[in-house]
């Protein structure tokens, strides 16, 4: 452990900074492969084969390869999603005349629409819906059966094939009833359900794109002929670049000329700008706050710190554990029941000597009544309702499976800066060390700091403003690089400086109050007036008022709360004690953040990670549930499963409560969607035939529709 000096606008404070910037510890050499990740996180365990024309070789979310005819995974996924949307639109348009021409619908609504050859028109329209709209499911059934894992795709394909085949047979001569409208509506519902599902799983790959956007596109290359602007991609190791104040550092390197403060918060989680001088390393993507510097490039491309974070995000996505979808499992068993019951029904009635048409009608009734209209809607409807409720409460759900997992969370890990704290410095202590009082100290300090945009300077000015203090007028103000700022106020020489400056100039004196705030890891700056030490001000990252309540409510729910931060141990300890956290991890670099989450998971915990920084992205993806707080960067949001729009940690509790309520509704709907079959299937098969009770195919279809309505109504009763 070594000590580093962090600076704010020239102010140095000493803290334990871990083992340097972490540049030398990033040994991952896997590199960025140049494509969006093969995203297990997005895919979950969906083995659906979302086939489409021109994509015959691809078998769904889980089975997608890295490249599809030159397209990235995300592009291919988007193409498939659009394909489902296109098929849904076409099928829905054709369903309208199918419904109008269906005898059952006409009888139900009391109207008549017939003309010569109408049943052939009905057949033609239904055939288009069956082959065009039903193609992804027919293709999916082939893939599922090839893998010997029949599921939702097989059941849907089986149901629409039996309904279509039997209806065609009736259209062309066999006595009986057609099932064209059931066929069309089932295909419509399944297409829109899969489209909605695929839209929700596209986000994680964009996290990589957002990370890469952090890097500037151009650099000011220093050449013998002068400064030349070149693309960052052309930089080579050993090149020297000029970085002006306010610009991003183009690549990892070492400062060879100039002094400055660098904002690394978006990369390392260090909330304080870090003072940098010749010989210090700088990270590509971090922001130069003050002086112009010249940097010798040490790493480019995949070797840079940021690109290694990109690689970590990609790896975390690929190694994501899968969670089997409840509806898929239910569909698997329902498929077996449907096939078995239908076959037994057909065989039994033939064995008992009934005509083939009668036996086939019984089998079709069984297949139709087992048709997964309700099952297909059971989960998506609840998710749709819960998504609407959550959006009203400022909680955006991006990943359905992870949202479902939120019900099992027993540890919530919070990032510190910008999540539990506001990421803004506030003056927590003003310590008089001479004749000046607290207000006078603040007026002098605010006067010197009022022209600086530095976070710590702004914290001092804000404190004076809160107390209604008017800062003095300043003459001859100037920055002391790496040390502080000085000026003349009311004819007196005034300095606001770091502890290091005091020690170098023999002005340091021991004080128990100063030692106490330094022990808490707070940033301490000092006011010197006419060469005499007049006072000290301690600043700390302001803790959000909502954070205390959030931690308290988590404890009431039996959930443990931890903190993960790149800040030093003293600061972390102070925040953890203030909030009553169960534990904290300090001085953690981005690659270590995901490792810390993994450590908790290996102990058997279901972990939710709440963060807002780019350095949180790998941890957000590694966690069972990744939650981005609203002020978070684009990367954190793209890497997260749930987004808290209102920047309120208490919304984590709301999200968990909603996840639990949503899960209960899902289970209820799945129980109904599959459970009603336990009495409907025997009736459809004809077990009460000897008592004169026989369920017709049309009545079976109505019973199936009723189950769908019940599922829809039950979903609407969901409350947070």
pLDDT tens profile 109-158 = 888 888 898 889 999 999 999 999 999 989 988 998 898 877 667 767 88
Cβ contacts of 677 within 8 Å, gap of 6 or more:
334, 337, 369, 370
Report residue 79: phi and psi, to 5°: -60, -45
The predicted model gives 222-233 an average pLDDT of: 92
Which candidate, 421, 653, 643, places its Cα nearest to that of 551? 653
pLDDT-derived band at 301, boundaries 50, 70, 90: confident
The pLDDT score that the predictor gives to residue 291 is: 87
Q: For 498, which DSSP code?
A: -
The predicted model gives 42-65 an average pLDDT of: 33
Exposure pattern of 13-41 as b/e (b: 16+ CB <10 Å)?
bbbbbbeebbbeebeeeeebeebbbbbbb
| Lowest mean pLDDT, pick from 143-147, 330-334, 502-506 | 330-334
The pLDDT score that the predictor gives to residue 298 is: 92
Q: For 71, which DSSP code?
A: B
Cβ contacts of 207 within 8 Å, gap of 6 or more:
313, 317, 617, 621, 635, 638, 639
Q: Which two tokens stand for residue 110?
A: 């009391």
| Lowest mean pLDDT, pick from 188-197, 333-342, 482-491, 563-572 | 188-197
The pLDDT score that the predictor gives to residue 104 is: 75
Whether pLDDT at 181 is above 60: yes
How far is it, in rounded angstroms, from Cα 368 to Cα 373?
Answer: 10
Whether pLDDT at 63 is above 70: no
How far is it, in rounded angstroms, from Cα 679 to Cα 328?
Answer: 22
The predicted model gives 26-51 an average pLDDT of: 32
Whether pLDDT at 290 is above 80: yes
The pLDDT score that the predictor gives to residue 357 is: 67
Whether pLDDT at 435 is above 50: yes
The predicted model gives 298-322 an average pLDDT of: 63
Whether pLDDT at 200 is above 60: no
Whether pLDDT at 622 is above 80: yes
Selected catalytic residue, list 415, 541, 616, 641: 415
How far is it, in rounded angstroms, from Cα 20 to Cα 114?
Answer: 82
Q: Find out whether 638 and 626 touch, Cβ atoms under 8 Å.
A: no
The pLDDT score that the predictor gives to residue 373 is: 61
Q: To which residue do tokens 């704010």 refer?
A: 8
| Lowest mean pLDDT, pick from 4-18, 129-143, 496-510 | 4-18
More confident residue, 393 or 99: 99
Q: For 470, which DSSP code?
A: P
Whether pLDDT at 164 is above 60: yes
Q: Find out whether 59 and 143 touch, Cβ atoms under 8 Å.
A: yes
The pLDDT score that the predictor gives to residue 606 is: 94
Q: To which residue do tokens 């909330």 refer?
A: 271
Whether pLDDT at 625 is above 90: yes
The predicted model gives 468-472 an average pLDDT of: 90
To the nearest whole number, what is the mean pLDDT of the chain? 78
Cα–chain center distance at 373: 30
Output the CA–CA distances (angstroms, integers) from residue 334 to 18, 34, 371, 711, in the order listed: 56, 42, 9, 17
Report residue 112: phi and psi, to 5°: -130, 130
| Lowest mean pLDDT, pick from 197-206, 248-257, 292-301, 682-691 | 197-206
How far is it, in rounded angstroms, from Cα 452 to Cα 235?
Answer: 33
Q: Find out whether 57 and 80 touch, Cβ atoms under 8 Å.
A: no
Whether pLDDT at 64 is above 50: no
How far is it, in rounded angstroms, from Cα 229 to Cα 207?
Answer: 28
How far is it, in rounded angstroms, from Cα 407 to Cα 625?
Answer: 10
More confident residue, 417 or 438: 438
Q: Which long-range CB contacts under 8 A does 645-649 form with residues at least 24 apart? A: 645/394, 645/395, 645/396, 646/394, 648/394, 648/544, 648/546, 648/550, 649/414, 649/419, 649/420, 649/544, 649/546, 649/547, 649/550, 649/610
More confident residue, 709 or 294: 294
Q: Find out whether 239 and 297 touch, Cβ atoms under 8 Å.
A: yes
pLDDT > 70 in the chain, percent: 76
Whether pLDDT at 30 is above 50: no
Rg (CA), the chain: 33
More confident residue, 554 or 329: 554
Per the confidence metrics, is the pTM higher than 0.85?
no
For residue 290, the SS3 value is coil
Report residue 429: phi and psi, to 5°: -140, 135
Q: For strands 218-223 and 226-231, give the pairing.
A: antiparallel
Q: Where are the alpha helices (DSSP H) in 406-496?
A: 438-449, 455-466
C-alpha torsion sign, points 314, 318, 323, 326: positive
The pLDDT score that the predictor gives to residue 635 is: 57
How far is it, in rounded angstroms, from Cα 444 to Cα 487?
Answer: 10
Q: Find out whether 443 and 464 touch, Cβ atoms under 8 Å.
A: yes
Q: Which two tokens stand for residue 591?
A: 């690659």
H/E stretch holding 717 reads none
| Lowest mean pLDDT, pick from 31-45, 326-340, 528-542 | 31-45
DSSP structure string for 138-199: HHHHHHHHHTT---HHHHHHHHHHHHHHHHHHHHTT-SS---HHHHHHHHHHHHHHHHHHHH
Q: To which residue do tokens 């706050």 refer?
A: 289
pLDDT-derived band at 35, boundaries 50, 70, 90: very low
Q: Which two tokens stand for residue 290?
A: 């003050």
HSE of 539, CA atoms in CB hemisphere, 13 A: 29
Whether pLDDT at 6 is above 50: no
The pLDDT score that the predictor gives to residue 498 is: 87
Q: To which residue do tokens 């069984």 refer?
A: 366
| Lowest mean pLDDT, pick from 16-25, 211-220, 293-302, 685-694 | 16-25
Q: Which two tokens stand for residue 194?
A: 């899969």
For residue 661, the SS3 value is helix
| Lowest mean pLDDT, pick from 423-437, 535-549, 631-645, 653-667 | 631-645
Q: Out of 33-47, 202-216, 564-578, give the one with best mean pLDDT.
A: 564-578
How far is it, in rounded angstroms, from Cα 97 to Cα 22?
Answer: 66
| Lowest mean pLDDT, pick from 145-154, 370-379, 400-409, 504-513 | 370-379
Q: What angle do CA 367, 368, 373 make, to 5 degrees?
A: 120
Whether pLDDT at 603 is above 80: yes
Q: What angle do CA 146, 131, 55 make, to 5 degrees?
A: 55
Q: Find out whether 704 and 676 touch, Cβ atoms under 8 Å.
A: no
DSSP structure string for 528-571: EETTEEEEEEEEEEEEPHHHHHHHHHHHHTT-EEEEE-SS-HHH
The pLDDT score that the predictor gives to residue 28 is: 32
Q: Which two tokens stand for residue 124?
A: 């033609």
To the query of whether residue 118 is one of the catalytic residues in this protein, the response is: no
């Amino acid at each position: 452990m070594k000590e580093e000096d962090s600076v704010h606008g020239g102010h140095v404070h000493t803290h334990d900074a871990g083992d340097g910037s972490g540049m030398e510890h990033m040994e991952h050499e896997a590199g960025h492969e140049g494509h969006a990740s093969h995203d297990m996180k997005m895919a979950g365990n969906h083995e659906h084969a979302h086939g489409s024309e021109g994509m015959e070789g691809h078998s769904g979310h889980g089975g997608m390869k890295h490249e599809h005819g030159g397209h990235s995974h995300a592009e291919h996924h988007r193409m498939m999603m659009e394909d489902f949307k296109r098929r849904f639109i076409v099928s829905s348009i054709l369903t309208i005349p199918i419904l109008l021409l269906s005898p059952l619908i006409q009888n139900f609504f009391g109207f008549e629409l017939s003309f010569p050859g109408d049943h052939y028109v009905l057949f033609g329209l239904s055939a288009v819906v069956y082959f065009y709209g039903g193609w992804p499911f027919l293709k999916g059934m082939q893939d599922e059966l090839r893998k010997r894992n029949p599921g939702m795709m097989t059941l849907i394909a089986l149901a629409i094939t039996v309904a279509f085949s039997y209806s065609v047979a009736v259209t062309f001569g066999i006595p009986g009833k057609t099932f064209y409208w059931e066929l069309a509506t089932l295909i419509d519902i399944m297409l829109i359900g899969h489209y909605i599902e695929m839209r929700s799983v596209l986000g994680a790959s964009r996290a990589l794109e957002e990370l890469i956007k952090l890097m500037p596109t151009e650099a000011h290359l220093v050449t013998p002929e002068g400064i030349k602007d070149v693309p960052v991609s052309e930089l080579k190791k050993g090149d020297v670049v000029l970085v002006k104040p306010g610009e991003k550092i183009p690549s990892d390197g070492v400062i060879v000329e100039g002094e400055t403060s660098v904002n690394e918060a978006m990369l390392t989680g260090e909330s304080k700008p870090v003072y940098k001088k010749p010989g210090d390393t700088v990270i590509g993507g971090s922001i130069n706050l003050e002086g112009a510097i010249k940097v010798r490039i040490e790493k480019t491309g995949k070797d840079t710190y940021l690109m290694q974070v990109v690689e970590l995000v990609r790896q975390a996505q690929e190694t994501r554990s899968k969670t089997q979808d409840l509806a898929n499992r239910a569909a698997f068993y329902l498929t077996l029941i449907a096939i078995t019951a239908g076959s037994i029904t057909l065989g039994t009635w033939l064995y008992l000597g009934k005509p083939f048409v009668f036996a086939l009608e019984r089998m079709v009734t069984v297949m139709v009544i087992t048709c997964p209209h309700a099952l297909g809607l059971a989960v998506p409807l609840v998710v749709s309702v819960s998504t609407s409720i959550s959006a009203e409460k400022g909680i955006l759900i991006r990943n359905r499976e992870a949202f479902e997992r939120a019900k099992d969370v027993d540890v919530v890990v919070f990032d510190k800066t910008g999540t539990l704290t506001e990421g803004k410095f506030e003056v927590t202590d003003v310590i008089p060390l001479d004749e000046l009082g607290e207000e006078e100290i603040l007026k002098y300090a605010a006067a010197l700091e009022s022209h600086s945009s530095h976070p710590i300077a702004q914290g001092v000015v804000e404190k004076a403003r809160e107390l209604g203090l008017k800062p003095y007028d300043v003459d001859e103000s100037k920055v002391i690089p790496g040390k502080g700022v000085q000026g003349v106020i009311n004819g007196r020489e005034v300095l606001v400086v770091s502890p290091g400056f005091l020690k170098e100039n023999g002005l340091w004196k021991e004080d128990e109050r100063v030692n106490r705030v330094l022990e808490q890891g707070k940033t301490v700056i000092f006011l010197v007036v006419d060469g005499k030490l007049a006072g000290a001000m301690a600043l700390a990252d302001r803790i959000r008022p909502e954070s205390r309540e959030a931690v308290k409510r988590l404890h009431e729910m039996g959930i443990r709360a931890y903190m993960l931060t790149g800040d030093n141990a003293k600061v972390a300890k102070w925040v953890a004690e203030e909030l009553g956290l169960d534990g904290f991890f300090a001085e953690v670099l981005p690659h270590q953040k995901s490792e810390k989450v993994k450590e908790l998971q290996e102990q058997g915990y279901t972990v939710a990670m709440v963060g807002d920084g780019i350095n949180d992205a790998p941890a957000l993806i590694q966690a069972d549930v990744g939650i981005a707080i609203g002020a978070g960067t684009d990367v954190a949001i793209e890497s997260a499963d749930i987004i808290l729009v209102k920047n309120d940690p208490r919304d984590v509790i709301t999200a968990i409560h909603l996840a639990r309520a949503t899960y209960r509704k899902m289970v209820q709907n799945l129980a109904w969607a599959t459970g009603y079959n336990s009495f409907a299937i025997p009736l459809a098969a004809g077990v009460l035939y000897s008592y004169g009770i026989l369920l017709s195919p049309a009545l079976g279809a109505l019973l199936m529709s009723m189950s769908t309505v019940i599922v829809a109504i039950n979903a609407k009763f969901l409350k947070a």
